[in-house]
Structure 1
Amino acid sequence: MATIADLENLIGAPRRPAPDNDWTAIEAELGLRLPSDYKRLMARYGSLNLDAFLGLYIANPGDRPGESMREAVLGILHDLGPHEDEELEVVDDQGKVLEVRYFQHYPSPGGLFPWGSTQNGDVCLWETKGDPNAWKACISDGTFMWRHSDGILDFLVKANQGSLSCPLLPNGGKLDRTYTFM
């Protein structure tokens, strides 16, 4: 399992301190406990953009004044799909179809929850079943979802090493090891 130090070795140290986050308040508003690796990542870097392509946001992905975190998340999921009557095909690193099924969205138990997005409009998310520290990093364009075998830090480290095969990332799944604060 990858660590913050592994990612920092690839993209460098933060150039400025990350904002403080009240995770107790954030998780209370969302009604959801978030993965520890995500909270450590956001505590070290804050919201950031990798390869000018994949953006990770802290808790509130919305940019409209007065919008709650929950409202912003629901808006992203509404725009993404799939909707109640649509199945989503899930594939792995090798392009193998793992399953085809209906997915619920947050706030439904086990529903999809976003943690980032790409410049192509794809959404990075988790399927929130079970222990948050076991949630797998996923990316979806609304018609299919690519699922990584591990969490967000492992996904980011492998994407920056070029050892993923994700069809929704540029260059065959390799990010260029650059980041900027959002």
Structure 2
Amino acid sequence: MSFEKLKTILPVPNLAISSDNSSKWSEVENNLGVVLPSDYKELIALYGSGIIGNFIMIYSPFTENENMNFFIQQNLYKDAYLTLKVSFPVDFPYEVFSTNGGILPWGRTENGDTLNWIVDTNQGDWAILVDGGSGDYFEFKGSMTDFLYDVLSGSVVCPIFPNDFPDKDSKITFVGLKD
């Protein structure tokens, strides 16, 4: 699926907050130790850090907003997930990144669900995993922009999300969140 398809239902904002600084992507990826998916980098370049449909928040490595900063949120999620995994291994079966096949968060919802990639450094095809907490997961085989398009268009229903998302009566918007 083309990134262009997502733009048909999610208008690009006039001003992207904490958007791509293309000279900094190599630094971001060196810090992580992995090349991030190109659709994520393109989304950050066009939209920046913000919230889709008053529900899905997208992290950016370029924001100073701690609640939206990719690195800060990755570390917080990893620590919490690993702590819970020790006590409840059945409910928290995934490994975390930097393990190949581990999960790496790229966003979250207003309900506290975490949106992750399942990192595959061998093939580069990273699936999406929605972590609803307490052992509730939804796996999507496709890219982040495929997932966003399919959920926002209603062609895929994520059982972890509320039944009224996305709101069929409202236009879907992206609102940038300030640093």
Q: Given the two structures, how large is their TM-score scaled by the length of structure 1?
A: 0.78
- Could you tell me whether the CA contact under 8 Å between 1:80 and 1:141 is conserved in 2? no
CA offsets 1:37-94 (integer angstroms, 9 cap, x no match) = 11111111111211111101113688449xx964541212223455145124xxxxxx
Q: Identity, % of aligned pairs?
A: 25
Q: Could you tell me which of 95, 105, 127 is aligned with 1:114?
A: 105
Q: Could you tell me which of 139, 147, 153 is aligned with 1:161?
A: 153
Q: Could you tell me which of 39, 47, 50 is aligned with 1:48?
A: 50
* Root mean square deviation, CA, Å: 2.7
Q: Could you tell me which of 169, 172, 179 is aligned with 2:174?
A: 179
Count of residues paired in the alignment: 167
Give the 3 Å change call, closer, same or farther, for CA 64–54 of structure 1 in structure 2: closer
Report the counterpart of residue 77 of structure 1 in structure 2: 78
- Could you tell me whether the CA contact under 8 Å between 2:59 and 2:107 is conserved in 1? yes
Q: Could you tell me which of 119, 125, 128 is aligned with 1:134?
A: 125
Give every structure 1 segment of 4 or more consecutive aligned residues whose post-TM-superposition deviation is greater than 4 Å: 68-71
- For structure 1, the 5+ residue unaligned runs are 89-100
Q: Secondary structure at the match of 2:147?
A: helix
Aligned-partner residue type, residue 138 of structure 1 = L
**Alignment of 1:27 onto 2:29:** yes
- Could you tell me whether the CA contact under 8 Å between 1:74 and 1:106 is conserved in 2? no
* CA–CA separation in structure 2 for the residues paired with 1:145 and 1:61: 28
* CA–CA separation in structure 2 for the residues paired with 1:20 and 1:159: 28
Aligned-partner residue type, residue 174 of structure 2 = Y
Q: Given the two structures, how large is their TM-score scaled by the length of structure 2?
A: 0.80
Q: Secondary structure at the match of 1:137?
A: strand
Report the counterpart of residue 12 of structure 1 in structure 2: 11
Q: Secondary structure at the match of 1:138?
A: strand
Q: Secondary structure at the match of 1:5?
A: helix
